[in-house]
Amino acid sequence: MTELIPAPRAVTAAPGEVRLTAHSRLHAGPGAEGAERWLRTTLGQATGLPLREGREPDGTGTDGIALRVDGRLGPEAYRLVSDARGVLVEGGDAAGVFWGAQTLRQLLGPDAHRRAPVRRDRTWTVPHLTIEDAPRFRWRGLMLDVARHFMPKDGVLRYLDLMAAHKLNVFHFHLTDDQGWRVEIRRHPRLTEVGAWRARTKFGHRASPLWDEKPHGGHYTQDDIREIVAYAAERHITVVPEIDVPGHSQAAIAAYPELGNTDVIDTTALSVWDTWGVNPNVLAPTDNTLRFYEEVFEEVLDLFPSEFVHIGGDECPKEQWRSSPAVQARIAELGLADEDALQSWFVRHFDTWLSARGRRLIGWDEILEGGLADGAAVSSWRGYAGGTAAARAGHDVVMCPEQHVYLDHRQDGGPDEPVPIGWVRTLEDVYRFEPVPPELTPAQAAHVIGTQANVWTEAMEDAARVDYQVFPRLAAFAEVAWSALPAPAERDFADFERRTVAHYARLDALGVAYRPPGGPRPWQRRPGVLGRPIEGPPPHR
Quick one: 329 exposed, middle or buried, by C-beta within 10 A (0-12, 13-18, 19+)?
Answer: exposed
Give the residues across from 312 on adjacent strands.
245
Beta pairing class for 532-533 and 377-380: unpaired
Give the active site residue among 113, 172, 205, 248.
248
Backbone angles phi, psi at 260, to 5 degrees: -90, 180
248 included as an active-site residue: yes
Q: Is the dihedral of CA 329, 330, 333, 339 positive or negative?
A: negative
SS3 130: strand
The C-alpha atoms of residue 408 and residue 194 are separated, in whole angstroms, by 28
Identify the bridge partners of residue 52 per DSSP, sorted by sequence position: 25
Answer yes or no: 540 catalytic. Answer: no
The CA distance from 315 to 363, in Å, is 11
Q: Are 240 and 172 in contact (CB under 8 A)?
A: yes
Considering Cα of 493, then 497, then 502, then 504, what sign does the dihedral take?
positive
Q: Identify the bridge partners of residue 398 per DSSP, sorted by sequence position.
A: 379, 450
Of these residues, 315, 340, 428, 508, which one is catalytic?
315
Q: What is the CA radius of gyration of the chain?
A: 24
Helix axes 493-510, 473-482, angle to 10 degrees: 120
d(CA 452, CA 399): 6
DSSP 411: S
Active-site residue, 333 included? no
- Annotated active-site residue in 145, 177, 184, 242: 177
Closest CA to 224 of 160, 164, 303, 146: 303
Between helix 287-303 and helix 222-234 the angle, nearest 10°, is 50
Residues whose CB falls within 8 Å of the CB of residue 283, separated by 6 or more in sequence, listed in order: 245, 246, 247, 249, 252, 253, 259, 260, 289, 293, 346
8 Å CB contact between 419 and 525 = no
- Using a 10 angstrom Cβ sphere, with 0-12 exposed, 13-18 middle and 19 or more buried, the burial of residue 493 is middle
Neighbours of 275 (CB within 10 A): 17
> Helix 153-165 crosses helix 493-510 at what angle (to 10 degrees)?
140
How many other CB atoms are there within 10 angstroms of residue 129's CB atom? 19
- Kindly tell me the burial class for residue 333, based on how many C-beta atoms sit within 10 Å of its own C-beta (0-12, 13-18, 19 or more): exposed
- Type of residue found at 463: A
Tell me which residues are annotated as active site. Answer: 177, 248, 315
